[in-house]
């Protein structure tokens, strides 16, 4: 009888472990889904913030358009401003690429921003800037820009 009670205790203890593991699996999946959703939201906000800056600052938009067309013709101040804009865009993408490679951000969540970069890199001024400033970025981002932005065709928007 005592042995039967011991076996029942072992069974109940094992059942408790299984239930706990199932609960933890559920919690981890919920947490992963929440992290992914927050990451997608953060990426969308970063992209929207950059577009909003262009929409609200005509001078910044002018510098960006002039820089993508002919970086060398910009004044020294405008070159710095253009470099800051491109650096900000690429550093945002760096975070998104890293998150995508870790499985936290679906690739399609930043495809629009990548295509905007393809559009910028399709223009000669951006190439001139990139050749001068590419070493400011880490090797992984440089490889991503060259393989996923420069080497891929730009799909212009139907605006």
Q: How many domains does the chain have?
A: 1
> Going residue by residue through the chain (159 aa), what tens digit of pLDDT does each one get?
767 767 777 778 787 877 787 777 778 777 777 776 776 677 777 777 877 887 899 999 999 999 999 999 999 999 999 999 999 989 888 888 888 888 888 878 878 888 888 999 999 999 999 999 999 999 989 999 999 999 988 878 776
Examine residue 133 and state whether it is found in any structural domain, yes or no.
yes
Contacts by 1-8 with C-beta closer than 8 Å and gap 24+? none
Work out the angle between the directed axes of helices 111-121 and 76-101 (0-180°, nearest 10): 140
Examine residue 1 and state whether it is found in any structural domain, yes or no.
no
Host domain of residue 136: 39-150
Examine residue 120 and state whether it is found in any structural domain, yes or no.
yes
Q: What is the dihedral of CA 93, 94, 99, 100, to 10 degrees?
A: 60
Examine residue 4 and state whether it is found in any structural domain, yes or no.
no
Examine residue 59 and state whether it is found in any structural domain, yes or no.
yes
Q: In terms of pTM, does the model score above 0.75?
A: no
Q: What are phi and psi of 128, to 5 degrees?
A: -60, -45
């Amino acid at each position: 009888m005592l042995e039967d009670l011991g076996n029942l205790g072992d069974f109940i203890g094992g059942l408790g472990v299984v239930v706990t593991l199932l609960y933890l699996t559920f919690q981890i999946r919920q947490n992963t889904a929440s992290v992914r959703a927050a990451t997608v939201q953060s990426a969308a906000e970063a992209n929207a913030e950059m577009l909003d800056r262009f929409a609200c600052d005509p001078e910044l938009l002018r510098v960006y358009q002039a820089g993508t067309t002919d970086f060398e013709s910009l004044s020294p101040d405008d070159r710095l401003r253009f470099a800051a804009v491109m650096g900000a865009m690429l550093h945002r993408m760096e975070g998104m690429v890293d998150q995508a490679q870790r499985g936290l951000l679906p690739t399609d969540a930043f495809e629009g921003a990548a295509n905007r970069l393809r559009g910028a890199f399709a223009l000669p001024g951006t190439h001139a800037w990139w050749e001068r400033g590419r070493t400011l970025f880490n090797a992984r981002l440089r490889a991503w820009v060259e393989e996923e932005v420069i080497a891929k065709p730009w799909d212009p928007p139907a605006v």
